[in-house]
């Protein structure tokens, strides 16, 4: 059955007035200014696009940066809250919601309108796009793509919760814009941190290699989604926790199990690095209502011979010691002052090192994606969609109907094929038992392992 979309309606959603406020993008914002993030929320019921558009317009009054545009003034990236607006498209497809969800991560699925981030950086391009797709069986896919320079996932979820509240007629949550992120951080950061910047300046040869990796990514890599049940996670936590001699989170054990298993299937026993982004708001005592990229990261060595429990324990310790051992935002500001902002675009995050197979694990669970409601309906699936297929990158979020965890990981094509095979499935689900209840996704998302 064909699920190719047909455009039915297109509009631009605006708040109706421009604040004219100008936000000076911080170092982390600027480092991410060539990236967009795309996600889908899938609903089993039809949603009214007029109500959604009206709710989005109200939400943009509270978070106007999503309806603005970027510009560069004297080498400084700025976000202008000019209410230029958000493109909102409505499509229909002949296929079912299950078929659409099965293609959510495919670059050609057309469930989102991916932003051209580099073009938006130069101005004149929207910072958020919305695409609503109606399926033949009455389902709805809400696809959103936003420019990373204006905010992390935490920021997008602030928009989403505000949008939901506007549609449902509830009080809008608080949202705070930052006029100058670097200035804010300079006031709240400790005088000293780990001293290691979170990005580096590659040589010309390495820069060429990285550019080639991005260019060939869609052909050389594959996206694999793996569903883990709550029972599997509980067994991981028990086994790894006993071995590590401490309590571990679901994120700790899933990261350790997934990375260890992938390296095992790849036949890779070398020591390699793991990068885990961390939302720095809580650690810095900042308001959870702040928008922007208030991120730092943990970097840990992974030594396969030590086993996954050791890695899980090291990750838990790193998170607990984050403010004193891993926080690097002041080091980033120092690096910027030394390097000069004009060369910032030549830098890359430490976590982007595919040649060294550095693994990046982003934990999106706990952000409340499945608590969002439109017209009294909550999503049955929240997933990354059509993002750049750069290898060794993983996002995890709650799975279908909010159960367990869904890991979306980008792998070289050969390893992806091995992971999808019987050996890969058995290794990934070694904590699943014959008597377990099947995962909620089993009968709906056949491509999910």
Q: Is the pLDDT of residue 212 over 70?
A: yes
The reply to whether 82 and 113 lie within a common domain is: yes
How many domains are contained in the chain? Answer: 2
The reply to whether 419 and 283 lie within a common domain is: yes
Percent of the chain at pLDDT > 70 equals 98
Cα gap 74→251, rounded to integer Å: 42
The reply to whether 314 and 171 lie within a common domain is: no
The residue-averaged pLDDT of 143-165 equals 97
* 247-306 tens-digit pLDDT: 999 999 999 999 999 999 999 999 999 999 999 999 889 999 999 999 889 999 999 999
The reply to whether 80 and 208 lie within a common domain is: no
Is 295 a domain residue?
yes
Is 445 a domain residue?
no
Cα gap 159→127, rounded to integer Å: 13
pTM for this prediction: 0.94
- Residues β-bridged to residue 71: 78
The reply to whether 179 and 207 lie within a common domain is: no
* 179-201 tens-digit pLDDT: 999 899 888 888 888 888 888 88
Q: What's the confidence (pLDDT) of residue 322?
A: 87
The residue-averaged pLDDT of 118-132 equals 92
Cα gap 314→54, rounded to integer Å: 47
Is 434 a domain residue?
no
Cα gap 47→135, rounded to integer Å: 11
Q: Is the pLDDT of residue 416 over 90?
A: yes
Q: Is the pLDDT of residue 425 over 60?
A: yes
Cα gap 43→233, rounded to integer Å: 26
119: domain CATH number? 3.30.559.10
- Residues β-bridged to residue 146: 37, 128
Is 372 a domain residue?
no
The reply to whether 158 and 278 lie within a common domain is: no
The reply to whether 296 and 399 lie within a common domain is: yes
Is 308 a domain residue?
yes
* Segments forming the whole domain that contains residue 35: 6-185
Q: In this structure, are residues 69 and 5 in contact, taking their beta carbons and an 8 Å threshold?
A: no
Confidence of residue 388 (pLDDT cuts 50, 70, 90): low
* 14-26 tens-digit pLDDT: 999 999 899 999 8
Q: What's the confidence (pLDDT) of residue 110?
A: 87
Q: Is the pLDDT of residue 1 over 50?
A: no
For the record, the structure tokens of 50 come out as 């007029």
End-to-end CA distance of the chain: 22
Q: What is the DSSP string of 136-190?
A: TTS-EEEEEEEEGGG--HHHHHHHHHHHHHHHHTPPPPP-B--SBHHHHHHHHS-
Is 348 a domain residue?
yes
The reply to whether 360 and 245 lie within a common domain is: yes
The reply to whether 163 and 214 lie within a common domain is: no
The residue-averaged pLDDT of 120-132 equals 93
| Long-range contacts of 378-381, Cβ-Cβ distance < 8 Å, separation of 24 or more | 378/43, 379/41, 379/42, 379/43, 379/142, 380/42, 380/43, 380/44, 381/40, 381/41, 381/42, 381/101, 381/104, 381/445
The residue-averaged pLDDT of 53-63 equals 97
The reply to whether 91 and 217 lie within a common domain is: no
From 156, 185, 214, the end of a domain falls on 185
- 13: enclosing H helix or E strand: strand 6-13
The reply to whether 175 and 121 lie within a common domain is: yes
Is 72 a domain residue?
yes
The reply to whether 345 and 305 lie within a common domain is: yes
DSSP state at residue 419: H
């Amino acid at each position: 059955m064909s699920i190719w979309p047909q455009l039915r309606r297109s509009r631009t959603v605006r708040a109706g007035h421009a604040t004219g406020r100008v936000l000076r993008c911080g170092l982390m914002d600027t480092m991410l200014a060539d990236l967009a993030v795309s996600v889908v929320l899938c609903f089993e019921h039809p949603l009214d696009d007029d109500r959604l558009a009206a709710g989005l317009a109200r939400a943009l009054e509270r978070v106007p940066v999503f309806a603005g545009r970027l510009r560069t003034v004297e080498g400084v990236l700025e976000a202008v809250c000019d209410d230029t607006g958000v493109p909102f498209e409505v499509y229909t497809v002949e296929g079912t919601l299950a078929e659409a969800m099965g293609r959510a991560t495919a670059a050609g699925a057309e469930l989102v309108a991916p932003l051209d981030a580099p073009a938006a950086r130069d101005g004149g391009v929207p910072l958020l796009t919305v695409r609503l797709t109606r399926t033949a069986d009455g389902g709805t896919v809400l696809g959103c793509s936003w420019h990373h320079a204006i905010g992390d996932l935490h920021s997008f979820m602030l928009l989403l919760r505000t949008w939901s509240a506007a549609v449902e007629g509830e009080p809008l949550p608080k949202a705070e814009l930052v006029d100058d992120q670097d200035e804010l951080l300079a006031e709240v950061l400790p005088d000293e941190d780990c001293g290691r910047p979170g990005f580096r300046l590659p040589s010309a040869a390495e820069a060429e290699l990285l550019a080639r990796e991005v260019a060939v990514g869609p052909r050389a890599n594959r996206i694999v989604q793996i569903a883990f049940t709550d029972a599997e996670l509980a067994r991981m936590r028990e086994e790894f926790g006993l071995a590590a001699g401490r309590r571990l989170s679901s994120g700790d054990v899933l990261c350790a199990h997934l990375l260890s298993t992938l390296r095992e299937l790849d036949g890779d026993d070398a020591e390699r690095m793991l990068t885990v982004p961390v939302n720095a708001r809580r650690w810095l005592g900042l308001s959870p209502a702040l928008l922007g990229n208030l991120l730092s990261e943990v970097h840990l060595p992974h030594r396969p011979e030590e086993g996954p429990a050791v890695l899980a324990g090291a990750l838990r310790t790193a998170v607990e010691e984050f403010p004193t051992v891993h926080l690097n935002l002041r080091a980033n500001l120092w690096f910027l002052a030394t390097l000069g902002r004009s060369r910032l675009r030549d830098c890359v995050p430490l976590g982007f090192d595919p040649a060294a197979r550095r693994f990046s694990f982003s934990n999106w669970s706990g952000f409340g994606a499945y608590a969002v409601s439109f017209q009294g309906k909550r999503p049955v699936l929240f997933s990354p969609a059509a993002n750049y297929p750069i290898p060794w990158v993983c996002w995890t979020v709650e799975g279908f109907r909010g159960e367990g965890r869904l890991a979306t990981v980008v792998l070289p094509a050969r390893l992806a094929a091995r992971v999808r095979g019987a050996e890969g499935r058995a290794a990934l689900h070694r904590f699943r038992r014959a008597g377990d209840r099947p995962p909620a996704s089993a009968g709906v998302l056949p491509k999910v392992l």
